[in-house]
Chains A and B, each alone.
Chain A
Amino acid sequence: MSTGTFGRYGGQYVPEALMPALEELEDAYERYVLENEDGFLDDFEERIRDFGGRPTPLQHAEQLSARYGADVYLKREDLLHGGAHKLNNALGQVLLAKYMGKERIIAETGAGQHGTATAMAAAHLDMPCEVYMGRRDTNRQRPNVFRMRLNGATVTPVDTGRGTLKEAISETMRDWATTVETTHYVIGSVVGPHPFPAMVRDFQSVISREARAQIQEQAGRLPASVVACAGGGSNTMGAFAEFVDDEEVALFAVEAGGSSLQVDEAAGVAPNSASLSTGSEGVLHGARTKLLQDGDGQIVESHSVSSGLDYSGVGPELAYLVDEGRVTPVNVDDDDALAGFHRLSQEEGVIPALETAHAVAWLEDATPEQLGDCVVLTVSGRGDKDLESVIEETAKRDVPNAPEMDVFGGGL
């Protein structure tokens, strides 16, 4: 018997010591989140409004609309407290942990946005919090490391492997296996064992619930397409969830194409994070899903200029929706993502996260037939955390629409 599956994907592939915790979490998810026991959802909605700043705006992007000959709307998750959509899930899970009587929060983070959101939520709800982060990512995302620590969280660098999200997840699972009786693991995306993929989707689906109502009010119609960047897939599933049943709405998941879509098996490296576009079915971190792996089933290291997309797996529900033909996976390489970053910054005055920059860049590649006449694109987060990376990466290449990079030298 397998629980929590999406077609052939999902399930619970974890050490036995964690299985009772997953059963406990599944029970809590059903009672508090699905059935609103003890008014959990009312509490959550009040907090995500007053502490989080929801609803976020749906902004008509005038310059992009003119550029692509379609009405382009931006769902501004960058304006959520903390600067990214991650708070929706982090606040939901930390609150749930509180209702469950857990005493401690642990989390993993790649770009640091999920760690930041979890640290903020834990401080808000007065829970101790430890965040695991690959050593390489702590160097790429120093502002978020500071923010987590300012909120009182312990940030623990992980030195194994390439020191990115994959290793941080493995390390957090090890902590959880030791402390499972008192600790809740706030998984940061729609990945991991059941019930995480469904629960995280439910917390994030507020993005598409609001966007769907807002576009109907502002444009008097549903969009022709929804475009969202995809790493693990929490922004993607959040942006798509309430549109999945609207079959006339095309759904595009934009992955990180990195520097190439080819996998170097000998080196154990994929110079991309495009597991929906190029991965194959396998089992990682508690779920059966699409993965970047070699022919033996060893997980290969992913790569993206955006550490928030740099993961070798993807949520099982997205893998299923791609197989079903409901979601179309596309990808954008590092160079184009940087161009997308500068374009949104210059043309709309919105400095996006590098994750979002991938989705923006894909508008340039998309055909008018794909986009249709009305597009909703989620700005998954703001770009402050990425500025050092953007300066460094832009200086390395010829990004035609970038400002003169010399002015960023000397002390920055």
Chain B
Amino acid sequence: MSRIPEAFADGPAFVPYLAAGDPSYEASVEYVEALERGGADLVELGLPFSEPIAEGPTIQEAVVRALEGGMTPTRFFEFVEDLDVSVPLVCMTYYNLIYQFGRRETGEPGPEPFVRRAAEVGIDGFVVPDLPAEEAGPLRAACDEHDCDLVFIVAPTTRGERLERIMEQVSGYVYVQARLGVTGARADVSDQTAESLSRLSRWDVPKAVGFGISSGENARDVVAAGADGVIVGSALVDIVAEGVEEDADATTVAERLEATARELKEGALAGENVTGPERT
């Protein structure tokens, strides 16, 4: 069974993202473990794809570093096995890698072998930014077969019938995109967040908000607006990038990640206690 519901069981969840293997396999293992110490309830692990069209410059550069460091789907599965963490794990990647793994294993492209292997090493779910609900049938079937969740992104532009179509397919949590555009840390959190959350109010999966959250204050505001979790990627990847730039050792970078994770988790918890007009 997927362990994702556990992440949302005790109040607002803090969901950090890192690209696996950025900037090196060993450092990246340390970084993910630091996030758990800082309070992560679930970790989204990016499996780098050469054409990350939904990502902004921060994560795109992380993807390049990870690929240059030798990250591959096979190494990714080893990476997950090597992690000493107990929180649920979600694999975030693009569809071609999932699809081609089938060719490598069976001679025919298809998502089932990737999902089977991911489930074996301890992955609980998937986020695939270039796979809309219309194209997700085969991956959804493989996830059902191996007790994994399939998370979908709902964008500010998603309306009407599209919402229904996604609601039928989504499990684990729904990734609520806080604003239009690509990933990237920003100073404020969009008003679109509250509006998006209100459109999903009758969905019975947890709603985790991402895109642009960079501080404890942002996290608090998002939870106060009704989110069940906050997803933070670029602000954490920035810390990894700074470490690369400064040539800092992995332990120092891990400590910074842990501290920032703690701030974000505390922000999320504070949001739960906000009462009055801010709380929708």
Give residues 173-187 of A contacting B (CB, 8 Å). 173-174, 177-181
CB-CB under 8 A from B152, the residues of chain A are 16
Decide: A298 near B49, CB < 8 A? Known: A13-B131, A19-B158, A281-B109. yes
Give residues 143-180 of A contacting B (CB, 8 Å). 160-161, 166, 170, 173-174, 177-180
Complex Cα spacing A15 to B134, Å? 12
A293 within 8 Å of B (CB atoms) = yes
B74, B129, B132, B153: the one within 8 Å of A12 (CB)? B132
A20 within 8 Å of B (CB atoms) = yes
B99, B137, B158: the one within 8 Å of A282 (CB)? B99
Do A282 and B157 touch (CB < 8 A)? no
Count A-B pairs with CB separation below 8 Å. 126
CB nearest to A174 among chain B residues:
B182
Do A15 and B130 touch (CB < 8 A)? yes
Give residues 378-394 of A contacting B (CB, 8 Å). none
CB-CB under 8 A from A295, the residues of chain B are 100, 103-104
* CB of B166, distance to nearest CB on chain A (Å): 8
B50, B52, B73, B159: the one within 8 Å of A20 (CB)? B159
CB-CB under 8 A from A181, the residues of chain B are 157, 180
Give residues 135-160 of B contacting A (CB, 8 Å). 135, 137, 152-159
Do B100 and A282 touch (CB < 8 A)? yes
Complex Cα spacing A357 to B47, Å? 40
* CB of B232, distance to nearest CB on chain A (Å): 19
Complex Cα spacing A196 to B157, Å? 20
B54 within 8 Å of A (CB atoms) = yes
Do A19 and B101 touch (CB < 8 A)? no
Do B101 and A160 touch (CB < 8 A)? no
CB-CB under 8 A from B69, the residues of chain A are none
* CB of A301, distance to nearest CB on chain B (Å): 9
CB nearest to B156 among chain A residues:
A17
CB nearest to A22 among chain B residues:
B132
Complex Cα spacing A284 to B104, Å? 18
B51, B129, B154, B180: the one within 8 Å of A284 (CB)? B51
B54, B64, B134, B154: the one within 8 Å of A177 (CB)? B54
* CB of A165, distance to nearest CB on chain B (Å): 12
CB-CB under 8 A from B180, the residues of chain A are 17, 177-181
Do B158 and A13 touch (CB < 8 A)? no
A12, A15, A179, A299: the one within 8 Å of B54 (CB)? A15
B96 within 8 Å of A (CB atoms) = yes
Complex Cα spacing A285 to B50, Å? 11
B215 within 8 Å of A (CB atoms) = no
Complex Cα spacing A23 to B160, Å? 12
CB-CB under 8 A from B60, the residues of chain A are 160
CB-CB under 8 A from A11, the residues of chain B are 134-135
Do A16 and B155 touch (CB < 8 A)? yes
CB-CB under 8 A from B103, the residues of chain A are 280, 295
B73, B97, B181: the one within 8 Å of A178 (CB)? B181
Complex Cα spacing A3 to B96, Å? 18
CB-CB under 8 A from B166, the residues of chain A are 16
Complex Cα spacing A20 to B158, Å? 7
CB-CB under 8 A from B121, the residues of chain A are none
B199 within 8 Å of A (CB atoms) = no
B53 within 8 Å of A (CB atoms) = yes
Decide: A296 near B182, CB < 8 A? Known: A19-B158, A180-B157. no
Do A16 and B132 touch (CB < 8 A)? yes
* CB of B104, distance to nearest CB on chain A (Å): 6
Complex Cα spacing A23 to B52, Å? 22
* CB of B139, distance to nearest CB on chain A (Å): 12
Contact pattern, B 99-120, Cβ under 8 Å of A = 1, otherwise 0: 1110110000100000000000
Decide: A15 near B135, CB < 8 A? Known: A20-B159, A283-B130, A296-B72. no
Do A174 and B99 touch (CB < 8 A)? no
A372 within 8 Å of B (CB atoms) = no
* CB of A266, distance to nearest CB on chain B (Å): 11
Do B54 and A298 touch (CB < 8 A)? no
CB nearest to A19 among chain B residues:
B132
CB nearest to B75 among chain A residues:
A296
Do B181 and A177 touch (CB < 8 A)? yes
CB nearest to B179 among chain A residues:
A178
Do B50 and A15 touch (CB < 8 A)? no
CB-CB under 8 A from A322, the residues of chain B are none
CB nearest to B94 among chain A residues:
A283
Complex Cα spacing A295 to B74, Å? 11
Decide: A170 near B99, CB < 8 A? Known: A13-B135, A16-B158. no
Complex Cα spacing A170 to B130, Å? 12
Contact pattern, A 268-310, Cβ under 8 Å of B = 1, otherwise 0: 1000000000001111111000010101111100000000000
B11 within 8 Å of A (CB atoms) = no
Do A297 and B182 touch (CB < 8 A)? no
Do A13 and B56 touch (CB < 8 A)? no
A61 within 8 Å of B (CB atoms) = no
CB-CB under 8 A from B79, the residues of chain A are none
* CB of A310, distance to nearest CB on chain B (Å): 15
CB nearest to A295 among chain B residues:
B104
CB-CB under 8 A from B155, the residues of chain A are 15-17, 19-20
A12, A179, A299: the one within 8 Å of B134 (CB)? A12
Do B51 and A299 touch (CB < 8 A)? yes
* CB of A193, distance to nearest CB on chain B (Å): 9
Do B54 and A283 touch (CB < 8 A)? no
In the complex, besides A282-B96, A283-B94, 10 extra interface pairs with C-beta distance below 8 angstroms are: A11-B134, A13-B135, A16-B153, A17-B180, A20-B159, A174-B54, A179-B180, A285-B53, A296-B72, A299-B51
Q: Give chain B's interface residues, CB within 8 Å of chain A.
A: 49-56, 60, 64, 67, 72-74, 94-97, 99-101, 103-104, 109, 129-132, 134-135, 137, 152-159, 162, 166, 177, 180-182
Q: Give chain A's interface residues, CB within 8 Å of chain B.
A: 1-3, 11-17, 19-21, 23, 160-161, 166, 170, 173-174, 177-181, 268, 280-286, 291, 293, 295-299
CB<8 Å pairs between A and B, sample of 8: A1-B137, A16-B166, A17-B155, A170-B51, A177-B53, A178-B182, A283-B94, A285-B53
